[in-house]
């Protein structure tokens, strides 16, 4: 039993005055913002017991000469509710709050004469500290109890004791505040701890969309039906709003005060939206950017299973498999499988070995191309230490460092050594092509120093390409992020919108022997039914043209000589006939003007017979000095640009019957099938034959070149 001391020394008026002074002694900005809200009801009895057992394990132990209050080693009996995750979180938060004010609470107990005036068992000292913190947090008001709540005798006895010393406790708290010249005992805490609590009270909530169960558009529509509206930023907004994260397209941001309201909607109850720190979403999105369709992933020190689920959701459309190591006990396997089934995750395999003990040549991990390493770190970049300890870190002893706002040099060295060993072991996996290293720490000893040291001392005996530091694969959304990423590290400093984050990507070139072509990847995807009936056997039009041109080249080479011989024979025959007729022609009058139809036709003929150097014309015809008055269209080969190589195609040419000029007795006025051009005093030159005097493309024509006259239409054209 707990024996109370003497009667109270202060009058009821004095007690009420000092208690009213405590209304300003609030321990966090969260309490300041809710000072006008309803009084806090307190916790159930079993929460106090759970928090007392946690505090017993994480409290600061003082040297024997400085011990004022003795703590026992026997834990209090726990209840079945201690296995519930939400109750565990409440218990840890209460124990951590008492830990931050351990010195102040102990001095209040001594100053108010609770110690040593009462006979208190040592194993209840932790319970008294925890309940005293909650008592002053409720401004020394009575706890509201429900009718159906099971009471615990130890909790009831401690509560009665504190109520009997209520006035003395209030006075002692006021004197402590005056001694430290602080507006409240909250201001007695170290500055780093105060900033941490301030950020924790205002830090937005981050939740990723489970696209295995719902699309982002459906989530937006559902939230709008619940009264939420989409904005660009949720800072300093008290309304029901949400925004989309700039780095991760599937992450939504909510104001911190909406957490209780959000947990009550079906989107969170059905695992369609999942709360998680943004740093973990950045890590899995970085892995996703490095993956091919059938690459496997190895996750190390995942912490929260929601991180594994997020990675699975992002690779749902791939054939990737996710291996998770570090789960030594198989007792949680049924619960984990049940969780993943509810979330729609199917490609997860749990390895019951620690990462260091897994060999790099393990046959199960031969297709692992990316390793996601989330090492245990100090976590002094996060705003909520309890969430970090419960989700990411199992070492509750770190709560001592969080309560002081710093970490000891010895512990930092131990953590850095573990991180270095894990990173170097990850780099030994010869089949892996990338390692993503991510922490929540702000210490360079856990971040840049570890990565640079691992790159510098790579194992030269491994016959693979060495790792190198690669730039971030995430979008840089501000000048500050660009500045912080100049050395290829992605950093986010702790702020009012995010926790701290460090992310590094190590990559190496893929082994040429393992290079897979696009056709092979598509064939694999089609074999596994991922292309939904898309046919891959059809070749493109460009490939068909290439194949056609390649097959036509041999035919062109075989028929080329035959075509040239036919053209040469025809031109030679025409030249001889024109030479005989030119001897009798001495004068020539200009041709009469044709009608509109004839002029249009002749203009088309002139365009078609633009003189070019023809490789198919025999050499003796090019150098011949014979002239003929007949201007015939004999340019059978289409001109081609000089800078392109065009494959010749075989063409069969049927020549028309030759009708010689002046064969009719009527002379020129009857059936004329040739066009003449009068040039004096030089002989007539056929316009269709290429000569050395013809200018090349791009050169100016000679001044003495006679203009071509419109020719008569050919009856065979």
Active-site residue list: 440
DSSP string computed for 162-203: HHHTHHHHHHHHHHHHHHTT-SSGGGGS-HHHHHHHHHHHHP
Cβ atoms of residues 321 and 344 within 8 Å: no
**How many angstroms separate the CA atoms of 273 and 209, rounded?**
5
**How many angstroms separate the CA atoms of 182 and 351, rounded?**
53
Residue 538 is given by DSSP the state P
Contacts of 469 (CB under 8 A, 6+ apart): 451, 455, 488, 504, 505, 506
**How many angstroms separate the CA atoms of 105 and 103, rounded?**
6
Q: Where are the alpha helices (DSSP H) in 344-395?
A: 385-391
Whose tokens are 């890590």? That residue is 283
Cα-only R_g, the chain: 45
- Tokens describing residue 224: 């709008």
Cβ atoms of residues 271 and 342 within 8 Å: yes
Q: How many CA atoms lie within 13 A of 689 on its CB side?
A: 26
**How many angstroms separate the CA atoms of 532 and 538, rounded?**
16
Cβ atoms of residues 197 and 29 within 8 Å: yes
Whose tokens are 């015809």? That residue is 621
Whose tokens are 């041109």? That residue is 549
**How many angstroms separate the CA atoms of 397 and 61, rounded?**
12
* Closest by Cα among 413, 406, 377 to 394: 377
């Amino acid at each position: 039993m707990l024996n109370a001391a003497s009667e109270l020394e202060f009058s009821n008026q004095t007690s009420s005055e000092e208690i009213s002074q405590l209304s300003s002694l609030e321990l966090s900005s969260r309490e300041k913002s809710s000072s006008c809200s309803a009084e806090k009801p307190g916790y159930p009895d079993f929460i106090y017991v759970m928090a007392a057992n946690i505090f017993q394990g994480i409290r600061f132990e003082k040297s024997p000469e400085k011990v004022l209050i003795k703590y026992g080693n026997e834990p209090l009996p726990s209840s079945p509710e201690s296995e519930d995750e939400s109750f565990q979180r409440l218990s840890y938060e209460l124990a951590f709050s008492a830990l931050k004010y351990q010195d102040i609470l102990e001095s209040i107990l001594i100053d108010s004469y609770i110690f040593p005036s009462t006979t208190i068992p040592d194993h209840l000292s932790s319970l008294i500290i925890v309940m005293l913190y909650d008592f002053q947090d409720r401004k020394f008001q009575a706890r509201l109890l429900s009718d159906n709540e099971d009471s615990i005798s130890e909790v009831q006895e401690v509560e009665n004791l504190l109520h009997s010393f209520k006035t003395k406790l209030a006075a002692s708290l006021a004197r402590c505040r005056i001694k430290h010249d602080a507006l409240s005992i909250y201001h007695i805490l170290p500055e780093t701890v105060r900033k941490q609590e301030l950020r924790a009270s205002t830090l937005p909530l981050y939740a990723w969309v489970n696209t295995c169960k719902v699309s982002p558009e459906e989530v937006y529509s559902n939230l709008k039906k619940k009264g939420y509206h989409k904005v660009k930023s949720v800072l300093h907004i008290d309304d029901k709003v949400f925004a989309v994260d700039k780095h991760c397209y599937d992450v939504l941001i909510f104001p911190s005060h909406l957490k209780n309201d959000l947990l009550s909607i079906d989107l969170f109850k059905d695992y369609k939206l999942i709360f998680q720190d943004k740093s973990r979403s950045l890590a899995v999105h970085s892995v996703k950017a490095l993956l091919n369709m059938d690459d496997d992933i190895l996750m190390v020190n995942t912490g929260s299973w929601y991180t594994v689920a997020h990675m699975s959701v992002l690779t749902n459309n791939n054939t990737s498999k996710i291996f998770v190591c570090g789960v030594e006990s198989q007792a949680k396997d049924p619960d984990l499988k049940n969780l993943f089934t509810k979330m729609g995750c199917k490609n997860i395999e749990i390895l019951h070995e620690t990462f260091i003990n897994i060999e790099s040549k393990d046959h199960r991990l031969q297709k692992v191309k990316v390793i996601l390493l989330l090492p245990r770190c100090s976590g002094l970049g996060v705003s909520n230490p309890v969430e970090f300890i419960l989700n990411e870190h199992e070492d509750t002893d770190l709560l001592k460092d969080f309560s002081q706002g710093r970490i000891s040099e010895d512990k930092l060295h131990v953590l850095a050594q573990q991180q270095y060993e894990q990173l170097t072991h990850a780099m030994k996996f010869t089949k892996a092509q990338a390692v993503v290293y991510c922490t929540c720490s702000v210490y360079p000893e856990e971040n840049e120093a570890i990565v640079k040291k691992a790159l510098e001392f790579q194992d030269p005996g491994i016959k693979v390409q060495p790792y190198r530091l690669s730039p971030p694969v995430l979008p840089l959304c501000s000048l500050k992020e660009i500045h912080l990423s100049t050395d290829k590290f992605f950093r986010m400093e702790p702020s009012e919108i995010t926790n701290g984050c460090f992310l590094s990507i190590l990559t190496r070139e893929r082994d040429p022997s393992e290079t897979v072509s696009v056709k092979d990847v598509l064939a694999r995807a089609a074999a596994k039914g991922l292309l939904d009936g898309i046919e891959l056997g059809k070749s493109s039009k460009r490939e068909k043209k290439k194949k056609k041109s390649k097959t036509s080249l041999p035919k062109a080479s075989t028929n080329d000589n035959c075509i040239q011989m036919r053209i040469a024979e025809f031109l030679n025959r025409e030249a001889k006939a024109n030479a005989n007729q030119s001897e009798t022609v001495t004068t020539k009058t200009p041709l009469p003007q044709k009608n509109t139809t004839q002029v249009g036709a002749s203009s088309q003929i002139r365009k078609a017979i633009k003189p070019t150097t023809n490789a198919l014309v025999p050499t003796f015809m090019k150098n011949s000095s014979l002239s003929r008055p007949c201007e015939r269209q004999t340019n059978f080969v289409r001109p081609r640009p000089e800078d392109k190589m065009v494959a010749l195609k075989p063409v069969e040419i049927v020549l028309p019957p030759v009708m010689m000029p002046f064969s009719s007795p009527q002379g020129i006025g009857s059936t004329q099938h040739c066009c003449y051009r009068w040039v004096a005093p030089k002989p007539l030159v056929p316009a269709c034959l290429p000569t050395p005097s013809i200018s090349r493309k791009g050169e100016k024509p000679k001044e003495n070149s006679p203009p071509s006259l419109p020719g008569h239409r050919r009856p065979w054209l």
